[in-house]
Amino acid sequence: MTLGVLRDLMDEVPEYCRLREKLTGAARTLTVETPARAAAFTLGALRRDMDAPILVVAPRPEDARRLHEQLVAWCGDDTGLLHFAESEILPFERLDSDMETVHQRLRVLSGIDERDGDRKVMVVASVGALMQRTIGRDAAEAGSHTLRRGEEVELGELLDLWRRLGYRFESAVYAPGVVSRRGGIIDVFPVAAEMPVRIELWGNEVDSIRQFDPATQRSGEVVESVRVTPAHEILPAMTPYGELERLAARVDVGNCTPSVQSRIREELELLMEGQEVEEQGFYAGFFNSGGLADYFTEGAARAGSNAVLVAYKPDEIADAAWEIQERENQLRETKEGRGELPHNFPSSHLSWSEVEVQFERFGKRLDLTVGSEVVSPLDGTGADIDGQDE
């Protein structure tokens, strides 16, 4: 049975109707206890009924994945129901996240910004995914642009912009984040797109835009436009020099071994020149200032103050967040003691207190606790709703 079949039945459940009424009323904070089996169903119904973007936070990655899968089962696999993945890279590790995870995160960020009146956005993420810094909303917006048929472009400037946005230049386009050029024909696979496109220029004018199959390279459907968004979360060439200079000035390498001091100084110089370095995920804290929650609460003219935060198992969220922060503190202390990490080195993660501040910017908050009782979501029992004005 799907959510569509149960649409009318939900309107007959007093507890759900009361929850919906409170969320659309004056109360800013609500607490609901629901059976485990009813959690995804309740969230799916709220997504249908709420005219607001919704961020659902779960304690751990497996909780977020499972909840998203259950939501897809109820709601169908549409473009507005998104899962924001968590990278497995620990803070201060000289490793890079796999590009599949990076692109998945970027697609979600793009999906939040591209919502419209007919497309209701709900994002499910673990608290760890929220604590991992990502490309700031301003930087993402500055790098996102749409090319339209008939538009005039300066090819050199366009290709340079794509390079600075993290796109790789190859002989053929076969995966997201790749660009190829053959004379006046440019192939690009935008990270947030389902298919790559082939852009043909007539002089400086965009003469045609066609989707194509990356496996066969055969051109297909003609489209009027293509939107290109950043291909990486870390963009040295798009970060203001002054901000990098400020953060670099605070770094104290005095505790590091001579080889580490030399390497960090050299890499920082390259990054401040807009160049890339190996294992640049180590420097994520220099480039990424915000997190996922900012995409819901910044830019009030579009997002509004009505964004809804759902804390799924709120007590476990706090416990998981403190575990992440304690692990980061231990890693920092250990690496500083070994001379592998300078003092005052920016972290790739937000602190739990910073995330809590982000939470306060949401227009509504629903704490969804899960009870042990297993009942049907339609039997009118097991739901305890409490709301308060703030």
CATH number at residue 309: 3.40.50.11180
Rounded Cα gap, residues 353 and 80, in angstroms = 29
Sign, Cα dihedral of 5, 11, 13, 16: positive
pLDDT digits (tens, 9 = 90+) for 284-305: 999 998 899 999 987 543 444 6
Higher pLDDT, 16 or 271: 271
Residues 135 and 15 in one domain: yes
Predicted confidence at residue 74, as pLDDT, reads 84
| Mean pLDDT score across all residues of the chain | 89
Residues 18 and 123 in one domain: yes
pLDDT digits (tens, 9 = 90+) for 15-27: 888 888 888 887 7
Rounded Cα gap, residues 42 and 28, in angstroms = 18
Predicted confidence at residue 379, as pLDDT, reads 38
Residues 322 and 369 in one domain: yes
Question: Do 109 and 140 form a contact (C-beta atoms < 8 A)?
Answer: yes
The lowest-confidence range among 69-83, 119-133, 315-329 is 69-83
Predicted confidence at residue 376, as pLDDT, reads 39
Predicted confidence at residue 387, as pLDDT, reads 55
Query: Is 281 inside a domain boundary?
Result: no
Q: Is residue 256 over pLDDT 90?
A: yes
Residues 134 and 149 in one domain: no
Predicted confidence at residue 354, as pLDDT, reads 96
Residues 109 and 222 in one domain: no
Range of the structural domain that residue 68 is part of: 7-139+287-388
pLDDT digits (tens, 9 = 90+) for 344-376: 999 999 999 999 999 999 999 999 999 865 433
pLDDT digits (tens, 9 = 90+) for 105-139: 999 999 997 755 456 899 999 999 999 999 999 88
Give the pTM: 0.90
Q: How far is CA 148 from CA 151, 157, 212, 369, in A?
A: 6, 16, 17, 47
Domain count, the chain: 2
Predicted confidence at residue 299, as pLDDT, reads 58
The lowest-confidence range among 9-13, 337-341, 344-348 is 9-13
For range 236-265, the mean pLDDT = 94
Query: Is 244 inside a domain boundary?
Result: no
